[in-house]
Amino acid sequence: MVSAAIPRSFHPFDPSVVASTSVDVANSTFVMVSSKDKSYGLILSYVATHLCGNEDHRSFDFSAGKKVTSSNYLDEDEDTHNKLVAGVGLHKFSWQQHTLHCLRQEEGDPVGTGCDAIQFESLVLFAPRVQSEATLQAFIDAVVAAAEATKQGYFSISRWSIGGEYWDEGDLAKARPLASVVLPAHIKADLIADIDDFVGDDSKAFYATHGIPYKRSYLFHGVPGAGKTSLIQALAGHYGRNIYLLQPTHPKMTDDSLQTAMEQVPKKSIVVLEDIDALFTKNRRKKVEDSPLTFSGLLNALDGVGGHDGHLVVLTTNFRDQLDDALIRNGRVDVHVAFAHASPDQMADMFLAFYPRETRDRALAFADALVAALGPDRPLSTAALQHYFVTQRRSTADGAIANVDRVAIEIDARKKMAEEEADSDDDETEGDDKDDEGKDDVGANKTAP
């Protein structure tokens, strides 16, 4: 951040941009905010929603979509929202009793070519009168504090904007109760005990005394649909923390971008790196050849994440056996949490969650009936089990027990559909190969003597 304490003859902006506006540069204080500063995206969002009504504001960046940045993290029926942030140009806005200006500007030429080009940006904030640095700093601090504030039972999800290099803040959403996430009792209890210990009052001092970065890292691994995402959401609500979602497989994610993203995460957040197995093989070779992110860059970002900000870092994967040992060693990943197919106890627990007036014996009877219907060759995810209960929401407990055969029928139908799609893809591939061979033959005939 650069303030107006620098010589008045130097301006970190083009004076002609504000020459014909109400900004009196000679009698104003200005502060420059880099796009790499954690306040950058927050300021853009604030300005867009607090514009002064008598000004003509024409430049906005517009985004439409779910309230969060990954469709996995909220129910599909959540309301969509349209989000505005201040675009390139000068904007007049209000904060408390102050009237301020914000200039969003591009710096230099784009780096890269075509769709891969990245345009670096900065903001310049203006306050009337000289020596008003305190006002501008108070505004920036207030915006950051508001973003870091959390509400018990609610959370927001933010996504890293690679082009602008700032966190795109999501709206608050109501979290699912922790009790609604059905996991083996000992796994959930051990995890909660570990997090409770980490967030305890004396924990930060212990980490500082021993020179250990104040963060706790977890690897959520196991079969799809077993509750990894649901648990992350529930933990966010339970501990009053917001989620900062990173997708390191993004084709523009560089070592520097990932490091910057980690450094800008607000205090006491949950940082999630999804599908960590999709990046590198067990021998550290890239799975996506044109990905600019390196293995060492990933490790450095994980080691430096947040420093002493009390973050919970969650890596997710369906294939732990594909991860390099260095990625998940002690100190880099503290706790491994396994997610498996639904066990009989989980079946019974979920039955009671949907039919809370029933007894444990009835729940166990449901589990026995479901296990018998599934047989030995049909593993069941907790997501599929929850789907079954949703379809039975108008049925009694007796009906849910009587209809368990439908679970097996749907599993078989989905398996058959997947096999047919795979066969269709194989046929298309073979057809393409034959077309290529035919073209080669035609070419050979044309050039043969």
Q: Say what the pLDDT of residue 67 is.
A: 35
Distant-in-sequence, close-in-space partners of 385: CB < 8 Å, separation ≥ 6:
342, 346, 347, 350, 407
User: Residues 299-311: what's their mean pLDDT?
Assistant: 79
**Cα–Cα distances in angstroms (integers) from residue 136 to residues 21, 98, 383, in the given order:** 20, 10, 48
What's the whole-number mean pLDDT along residues 86-98?
86
Position 112 pLDDT exceeds 70 = no
pTM above 0.85, yes or no: no
Q: Which residue has the higher pLDDT, 19 or 228?
A: 228
Q: What's 25's DSSP letter?
A: G
More confident residue, 419 or 321: 321
Which tokens is 260 given? Answer: 């910057």
- Scan for tokens 């999709």, then name that residue: 278
Q: Break the chain into its structural domains and give their ranges.
A: 2-149, 173-339, 344-449
**Mean pLDDT of the residues in the chain:** 82
Q: Say yes or no to pLDDT of 193 above 90.
A: yes
310 closest CA partner among 208, 237, 432, 403: 208
pLDDT at residue 355 in the model: 96
pLDDT of 62 above 50: no
CB 135 within 8 A of CB 98: yes
The topology under which CATH files domain 173-339 is Rossmann fold (3.40.50)
Arithmetic mean of pLDDT, 72-84? 46
Q: How many helices (H) and strands (E) does the chain have?
A: 13, 16
Tokens 């995810």 label which residue? 381
Residues found in the chain: 449
pLDDT at 147 (0 to 100): 76
The pLDDT value given to residue 441:
46
pLDDT of 102 higher than 60: yes
Could you report the per-residue pLDDT of 349-404, keeping only the tens digit for each?
999 999 999 999 999 999 999 999 999 989 999 999 999 999 999 999 999 999 99
pLDDT band at 3 (very low <50, low <70, confident <90, very high): very low
Q: Reply yes or no on whether the pLDDT at 138 is more than 60.
A: yes
pLDDT of residue 223: 93
Is 51 strand, coil or helix? strand
Examine the pLDDT at 342 and tell me if it is beyond 90: yes
Tell me the C-alpha distance between 393 and 400, whole Å.
9
Tell me which H or E stretch contains 272.
Answer: strand 270-273
| Predicted pLDDT of residue 35 | 82
pLDDT at residue 444 in the model: 43
DSSP 150-166: --TTEE-EEEEETTTTE
pLDDT above 90 as % of the chain: 43
Select the more confidently predicted residue: 150 or 167: 167
Which tokens is 134 given? Answer: 């305190």
Torsion of CA 36, 37, 41, 47, to 10 degrees: -130
Q: What pLDDT is recorded for position 328? A: 93
What single-letter DSSP state applies at residue 119?
E
